[in-house]
Amino acid sequence: MKLLRSFWGHWVEVCGLICVGLLLSGCQTTQPPSWPDASSTNSVTPGRLRAGELLSVTYSDLANPVLPFEGRIKEDGTITLILNEPFAAAGKTVAELEKEIRERYVPSKFRNLTPTVRVLDRYFFVDGQVRLPNRYEHRGDLTVLGAIAAAGGFTEFAKRTKVQITRADKQTLIMDCKKATTHPELDLPIYPDDKVFVPKRLW
């Protein structure tokens, strides 16, 4: 009899633990996936210079003016600047190239020199349900909402929740522009050669 009571007591305890476990698991909620933010995509498009791009290099803080450079990055990735100095430009950011130019010339060749590098022919594209679909010059920092604004804004038929961004490396992202208007951290960056496509809503 004592053995039977012990068995039933153990069984009730096990059943109680199972019920508690089920109740706890039922309280867990599954969070919906969130839209990617700008910081998560910084590694996708590094904004580095490429062969064939048209550059302008100007110089300031010099005792005597020096003619600026304007030309394309050669197929081997280089440009040649004042005093016939070659620089590997392709693969670098604008800031990295400016730093290298200054370090090459100062103080060995000039007491002071500040180079400014500009890329003259970088573009992004906006198509679909915007008022002015076209190619636009890329100047500095830009986001999806800014790119759409440059293209005249959405049409009344735009599906704003499923805007497609195609990177230069063919990676495709989907952004909810409705959410991004009130949550700027969801507004993805736009880089040179990116394509923004706004689809048409079905109703």
Q: Rounded to whole angstroms, how far apart are CA atoms 147 and 172?
A: 16
Question: What is the full per-residue pLDDT of the chain (203 aa) written as tens digits?
Answer: 444 455 455 554 545 555 545 444 444 433 333 333 333 333 333 478 988 899 999 999 999 999 999 999 999 999 999 999 999 999 999 999 999 999 999 999 999 999 999 998 889 999 999 999 999 988 878 999 999 999 999 999 999 999 999 998 899 999 999 999 999 999 999 988 899 999 999 88
Q: Given phi > 0 = left and psi -120 to 50 = alpha, else beta, which region is 25?
A: alpha
8-state DSSP, 202: -
Domain ranges (residues) in the chain: 54-119, 122-198
Q: What does the chain come to in residues?
A: 203
CATH number of 122-198: 3.10.560.10
Q: Rounded to whole angstroms, how far apart are CA atoms 197 and 62?
A: 46
Q: Which residues of 37-53 are buried (b: 16+ CB within 10 A; e: fewer)?
A: bbeebeebbeeebeeeb
Measure the N-to-C terminal CA separation of the chain; round to a whole number of Å: 73
The confidence score (pLDDT) of residue 39 equals 36
Q: Rounded to whole angstroms, how far apart are CA atoms 86 and 80?
A: 4
The confidence score (pLDDT) of residue 9 equals 52
The confidence score (pLDDT) of residue 48 equals 87
Which ranges constitute the DSSP H helices of 151-191? 177-182
CATH number of 54-119: 3.30.1950
